[in-house]
């Protein structure tokens, strides 16, 4: 499909982590942005090697085109446990509610639950996710079938899987086409033996892959890791040789000085999950210090059972607002930094360098934001409006890889929403 957007405001990258707004046109040819500008130089493009025939021309009516959000940490298929067992202490939530039911999930269940999560991503302008869950190839298949872009990692731990399986999944998922990729990872230090972690380090070196894991999510996790190994999770995983090709940690709430040093030295990304960290009473991550130290940041929703929604607007607001109250400094972690984390920051840590911003040659992972809504008015500052006031309600189009998957409240993913809802209710219904 070739699609021309006109009468648009277009959010483009500017110096550092800031943004500029171009008024004009954006053209998509296949899965790629082929023109972006004010339209004054259009004739050059049209008279180039190839004349573009438009399948659609879309009047943006002054609304905003911007890069889709990258949800840099989630467990998508946990949709079945949304609102199933909240308001419980963490331990009984996990052992009594979550684990016994996850054990009953089939590959087929995961496929349908994943599609439910993908639909929710689309309503929030999320164009790709970094997913950790059971059966990565099945997970990836759901994304590919919807036209959605997913980076999988492994949740390997002592209770299931092997390094050999991770290697197999690495190749299967990376070979599933341009919408699907795999980065090596494992669940967390506190659930994984040293032997498995050593295997993961060796595999990462063999595959030249970064490594991701849950890292420093809770105080207890860090304390017990230090009791076991005399090192924090960051120090231990670095000592095991995990980060030859980079990687990073999910959560990164309870960090020590030496951990920041390792993140800098190894060029790791801290993926923050603020709503989950509140709801599970884990704490507030030191976002200002990561920024001050020049450490890369990205934002994730975590899974729908621990959040419970998959909404990057809420996560963006929390990323800055929690930093402000943590540091007692209303000026820290400004809006532009947050929007950068939620778009380019996520893309870079997920290996999606060609989806990080709107520019010619980049993949067409684009959303349209309705600025003609009261929460986007007056237009004093578009980026601040997005970060402090934005809502799913403002997302009027989500395009992934050049295909419109969500527009004006309707899904174009090849599945009937009512069927997906019925499947999800039946899966959890079976387990009640």
In angstroms, the CA 29 to CA 357 distance is 16
Q: Which residues contact 277 (CB under 8 A, 6 or more apart)?
A: 217, 251, 253, 283, 284, 285
* Beta carbon of residue 377, minimum distance to its own copies (angstroms, whole number): 5
Q: Residue from 138, 324, 351, 407 that binds its own copies (CB under 8 A)? A: 324
Stretch in the footprint of its own copies (CB under 8 A) among 163-171, 223-231, 343-351, 374-382:
374-382
Nearer to its own copies, 267 or 392 (CB): 392
- Which stretches within 175-211 are classed as H helix? 194-207
Q: Does 392 bind its own copies (CB under 8 A)?
A: yes
- Candidate list 95, 104, 162, 393; residue touching its own copies; CB under 8 A: 393
With CB under 8 A as the contact rule, the residue among 11, 184, 275, 296 that binds its own copies is: 275
Contact status, residue 120 vs residue 133, Cβ threshold 8 Å:
no
The answer to whether 428 contacts its own copies (rule: CB under 8 A) is: yes
Rounded to the nearest whole angstrom, what is the least distance from the CB of residue 119 to its own copies in the complex?
4
- Give CA torsion, residues 172, 176, 178, 179, to 10 deg: -100
The DSSP H or E segment spanning 2 is strand 2-13
Q: What is the DSSP string of 105-157?
A: --HHHHHHHHHHHHHHHHHTTEEEEEEE-S-HHHHHHHHHHHT-EEEEE---B
Instruction: Provide the token pair at 176.
Output: 């599933």
Radius of gyration of the chain (CA): 21
Among 43-51, 156-164, 187-195, 421-429, which window interacts with its own copies (CB under 8 A)? Answer: 421-429
C-alpha span between 5 and 59 (Å, rounded): 6
Footprint on residues 325-344 left by its own copies (CB under 8 A): 325, 327-332, 334-335
- Cα–Cα dist 127/151, whole Å: 11
Residues 284-323 that bind its own copies (CB under 8 A): 284, 304, 307-311, 314, 317, 320-322
372 binds its own copies (CB under 8 A): yes
| Residues of span 120-179 touching its own copies by CB under 8 A | 120, 123
Please say whether the beta carbons of 253 and 220 come within 8 A: no
Which residue among 77, 78, 119, 339 contacts its own copies (CB under 8 A)? 119
At its nearest, how many Å lie between its own copies and the CB of residue 316?
11
Strand-strand pairing, 56-59 and 64-67: unpaired
Binding mask 66-95 for its own copies (x = CB under 8 A): -------------xxxxxx-xxxxx--x--
Q: How far is the CB of 408 from its own copies (least distance, A)?
A: 9
Alpha helices (H) in 208-295, listed in sequence order = 219-229, 233-239, 257-265, 274-279, 287-292
| Residue range at the interface with its own copies (CB under 8 A); choices 152-160, 174-182, 221-229, 423-431 | 423-431
Closest CA relative to residue 74, chosen from 270, 272, 233, 222: 272
* Nearest residue (CB) to its own copies, 52 versus 321: 321
According to CB under 8 A, which residues from 205 to 264 bind its own copies?
A: none
* Residues that contact its own copies, how many (by CB under 8 A): 73
| 226 vs 324 by CB, closer to its own copies | 324
Least Å distance, CB 81 to its own copies, is 8
CA gap 73, 343 in Å, rounded: 13
Nearer to its own copies, 144 or 321 (CB): 321
């Amino acid at each position: 499909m070739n699609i021309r957007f006109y009468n648009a405001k277009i959010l483009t990258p500017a110096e550092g982590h800031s943004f500029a707004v171009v008024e004009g046109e954006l053209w998509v040819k296949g899965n790629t942005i082929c023109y972006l500008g004010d339209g004054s130089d259009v004739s050059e493009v049209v008279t180039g090697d190839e004349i573009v025939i438009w399948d659609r021309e879309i009047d943006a009516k002054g609304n905003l085109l911007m890069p889709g959000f990258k949800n840099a940490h989630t467990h998508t298929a946990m949709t079945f446990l949304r609102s199933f067992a909240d308001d419980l202490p963490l331990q009984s939530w996990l052992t009594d509610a979550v684990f016994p039911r996850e054990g009953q999930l089939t590959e087929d269940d995961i496929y349908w639950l994943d599609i439910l999560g993908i639909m929710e991503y689309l309503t929030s302008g999320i164009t790709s996710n970094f997913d950790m869950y059971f059966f990565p190839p099945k997970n990836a298949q759901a994304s590919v079938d919807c036209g959605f872009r997913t980076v999988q990692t492994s949740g390997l731990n002592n209770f299931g899987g092997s390094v050999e399986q991770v290697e197999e999944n690495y190749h299967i998922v990376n070979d599933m086409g341009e919408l699907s990729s795999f980065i090596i990872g494992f669940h967390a230090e506190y659930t994984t033996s040293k032997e498995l972690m050593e295997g993961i380090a060796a595999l990462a070196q063999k595959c030249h892959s970064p490594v991701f894991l849950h890292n420093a999510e809770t105080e207890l996790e860090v304390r017990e890791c230090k009791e076991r190994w005399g090192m924090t999770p960051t120090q231990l995983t670095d000592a095991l040789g995990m980060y030859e090709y980079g990687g990073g940690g999910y959560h990164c709430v309870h960090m020590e000085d030496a951990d920041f040093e390792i993140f800098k030295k190894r060029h790791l990304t801290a993926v923050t999950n603020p709503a989950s960290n509140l709801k599970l009473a884990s704490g507030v991550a030191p976002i200002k210090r990561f920024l001050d130290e020049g450490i890369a940041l990205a934002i994730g929703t975590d899974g729908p059972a621990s959040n419970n929604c998959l909404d990057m607007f809420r996560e963006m607001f929390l990323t800055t607002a929690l930093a402000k109250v943590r540091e007692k400094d209303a000026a820290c972690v400004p809006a532009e930094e947050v929007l950068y984390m939620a778009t380019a920051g996520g893309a870079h840590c997920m290996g999606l360098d060609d989806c990080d911003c709107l520019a010619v040659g980049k993949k067409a992972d684009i959303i349209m934001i309705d600025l003609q809504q009261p929460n986007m008015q007056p237009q004093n500052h578009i980026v601040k409006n997005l970060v402090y006031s934005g809502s799913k309600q403002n997302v009027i189009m989500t395009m992934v890889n050049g295909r419109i998957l969500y527009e004006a409240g309707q899904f174009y993913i090849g599945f009937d929403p009512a069927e997906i809802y019925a499947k999800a209710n039946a899966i959890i219904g079976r387990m009640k």
